[in-house]
């Protein structure tokens, strides 16, 4: 079969965009390049893989898991069913941290990524700040395995710790503690493709969605440098409640809630109040 025939075949099972994305991935070309090779005859091994992947898509598996990787901030990250699929909102979180650190120009920078999943946050920050000491933490062996693979493929030297939040983390002080923890409420309605495919351990944060933040905040004082940034991704309705929790834990802090590009509260930042 030719590239053109495979695209037509793929559109019987999924959208034109996804069909082209799949085929381009297996042919190791940019999707736009497919238009220049429509007459190319494709090897049977790739045809079989393409057809198997189309079947998976038709069964409502996310294309990111089918392909096996995502682009995050220009870097290629492996993903599978053991980790969340990174969202654009998380790129915005990283962008804000990057801007903060560039302004501060901190020496001996230490960053802690709690609940790292595939490692997109901690590894992207390490890619920006090569001299930083970055530690990635997760309770899941499978997630840590994915993060280790990503660190190796990106040639980034970071530390890994298996821990339930701070439980197994040696006492140390960090300039930045960042987390995109589970924050979906137990009874909250979410997309079926997310609920049926992504790990529930990384999705659900208790009845009010704040359990993981509580677990982080109860120990966080012991791990902060004198000047610090705490960065959380949050549920869009959770900002004010989380702000109150933080004020109880860190009364001398400044809390800033930021909106994402969809104009929803999605990021919360905590700094020492120096006013």
CA distance 157 to 58: 38
- pLDDT of 252 reads 87
**Is residue 273 over pLDDT 70?**
no
- pLDDT of 116 reads 97
**Cα Rg, the chain, nearest whole Å:** 21
Burial of 58 (0-12, 13-18, 19+ CB in 10 A): exposed
Query: SS3 for 88?
Result: helix
Mean pLDDT, rounded, of the chain: 93
**Is residue 243 over pLDDT 60?**
yes
pLDDT, mean of residues 242-271: 93
Q: How confident is the model at residue 157 (pLDDT cuts 50, 70, 90)?
A: very high
pLDDT, mean of residues 113-135: 98
Least confident of 191-200, 233-242, 251-260: 191-200
- pLDDT of 215 reads 94
Least confident of 53-62, 162-171, 225-234: 53-62
3-state SS of 198-255 is CCHHHCECCCCCCHHHHHHHHHHHHHEEEEEEEEEECCCCCHHHHHHHHHHHCCCEEE
Q: How confident is the model at residue 203 (pLDDT cuts 50, 70, 90)?
A: confident
- pLDDT of 31 reads 87
**Is residue 3 over pLDDT 70?**
yes
b/e sequence 138-174, b meaning 16+ C-beta within 10 Å: bbbeebbbbbeebbeebebebebbebebbeebeeeeb
Query: Element (H or E) spanning 9, and its range?
Result: helix 3-10
Domain 84-272 is in which class?
alpha beta
- pLDDT of 274 reads 60
pLDDT, mean of residues 184-196: 80
* Tokens standing for residue 70: 């995502």
């Amino acid at each position: 079969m030719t590239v053109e025939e495979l695209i037509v075949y793929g559109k019987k099972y999924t959208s034109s965009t996804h069909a082209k994305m799949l085929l381009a991935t297996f042919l190791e070309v940019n999707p736009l390049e497919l238009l220049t090779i429509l007459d190319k005859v494709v090897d049977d091994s790739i045809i079989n893989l393409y057809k198997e992947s189309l079947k998976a898509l038709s069964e409502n598996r996310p294309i990111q898991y089918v392909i096996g990787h995502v682009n995050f901030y220009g870097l290629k990250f492996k993903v599978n069913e053991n980790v969340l699929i990174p969202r654009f909102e998380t790129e915005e979180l990283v962008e804000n941290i990057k801007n903060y650190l560039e302004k501060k120009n901190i020496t001996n920078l230490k960053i802690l990524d709690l609940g790292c999943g595939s490692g997109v946050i901690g590894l992207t920050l390490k890619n920006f700040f090569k001299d930083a000491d970055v530690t990635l933490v997760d309770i899941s062996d499978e997630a840590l395995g994915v993060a280790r693979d990503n660190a190796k493929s990106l040639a980034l030297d970071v530390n890994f710790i298996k821990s339930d939040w701070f439980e197994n983390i040696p006492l140390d002080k960090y300039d930045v503690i960042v987390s995109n923890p589970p924050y979906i409420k137990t009874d909250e309605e979410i997309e079926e493709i997310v609920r049926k495919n992504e790990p529930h351990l990384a999705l659900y944060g208790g009845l009010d969605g704040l359990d993981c933040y509580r677990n982080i905040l109860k120990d966080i004082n012991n791990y902060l440098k004198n000047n610090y940034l705490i960065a959380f991704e949050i549920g869009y309705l959770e900002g004010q409640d989380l702000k109150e929790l933080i004020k109880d834990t860190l009364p001398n802090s400044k809390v800033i809630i930021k909106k994402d590009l969809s104009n929803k509260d999605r990021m919360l930042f905590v700094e020492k109040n120096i006013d």
